Structures are given as structure tokens and as C-alpha cells.
Structure 1
Amino acid sequence: MTHSTMYQFRLDANEKRQAFEVFDELGIKPAQAIRLFLRQVTATKSIPFDVAIPNATTQRAMQDVEAMIADKQARFSSNKELFDALEKAD
């Protein structure tokens, strides 16, 4: 006979609501969804979806954007304008 155990965690109320709506549409209970996730972690010995550390280029781009935002002078009217500014920063 297996023994069950409880585990509690906190999450954003909106995130919870959205996820529980999906579980409801799938016809499963939240506890079933968590068990499915944990079984996949155990079976694959990994997170069952892609999780990646950003490469150096992506990290540099994120730092550049953060610096522009911190500067408070950077205001962009479009994505193109932002990307043009990022290219000039290199």
C-alpha cells in the first residue's frame, strides 16, 4: 500500500484561476494534473517541457533593454525602433 503525503505551495491567484480553467476543460482535477506532471518528471528524469538558460547573445540583449529602460530616456514607438536601437548599441 502506498502512502500519500501533502505538499503545499503558493501561486498567483490569476495564474491559479487560468490553470484550473484549463484543467476543468480537460476534465481533470488539479491534483491529477500535478500528479501527471510529477510522473513525467520521474519517467523522463527532466522537466517535461523546454527550460533553457538564455545564451550570451540573448543575455546581452536583455541587459541592453534593461539599461535603456533604466535610462528612462529610451522611449520607442514601435518594435522596429527598439530593435534598431539595440543594433546600434552593439
Structure 2
Amino acid sequence: MVHVRVDEKIKAQATETLAAMGLSVSDAVRVFLMRVVADKQMPFALKVPNAETRAAMDEADEIARTRRARFGAASELFNDLEKNSGQ
């Protein structure tokens, strides 16, 4: 079982597009994973991140460097995120 967090709009669009091909989202994920295993690589080209993405990655690296947050379980991470989200 694989759980993936995806924006609802993207999921709906992907579901519709895949259905037109005769596939479900689960079928597409299985095909993707089978290609990764068979080819020992991503089934598409990965590109250098743009400036906005690179800045976000740098920010995340800095947060990890300065806070050094480590969690023993996913629930601890989610609790910390909720506590520090300001909500």
C-alpha cells in the first residue's frame, strides 16, 4: 500500500486523463514503479530546478542545519509541524 499526498485538483485532472487512457491512478503508479525497477532509473528526464525551487531547497537546507530537528516517528514530525504552524 502506498499513500501519496497530492493536491485535489491535480488528482482529479490526472484521474480524468488516465481514465481516457483506460488506466486508474493505481495502475499508473504501478506502471511507474515497474519502470523504475526495470530501468533502474526514473522513466523521465529530471532537470535542474528553477531559481524559485532552488531558493526553497536552500531555505529547507538552512532550516535543517540550524534547527537540527530529528524525529523518531512520523507522528512526532506532524505534531511539531502543527505546533509551529502558528494556527
Tell which structure's C-alpha radius of gyration is larger.
Answer: 1
Q: For structure 1, which runs of at least 5 residues remain unmatched after alignment? A: 1-5, 67-90
Classify the secondary structure of the residue corresponding to 1:27: coil
How big is the shift at 1:7? 1.5
Q: Indicate the structure whose relative CO is greater, using CA pairs within 8 Å and at least 6 residues apart.
A: 1
* Paired letter, 1:18: Q
How big is the shift at 1:53? 2.2
Pairing of 1:35-74 with structure 2 (within 5 A): 35-54=30-49, 62=51
**In the comparison of the two structures, how many residue pairs are matched?**
53
CA distance in 2, matches of 1:45, 1:20: 26
How big is the shift at 1:50? 0.7
CA distance in 2, matches of 1:45, 1:37: 12
CA distance in 2, matches of 1:21, 1:39: 22
So what's the TM-score if we normalise by structure 1? Answer: 0.52
So what's the TM-score if we normalise by structure 2? Answer: 0.54
Moved over 2 A (4+): none
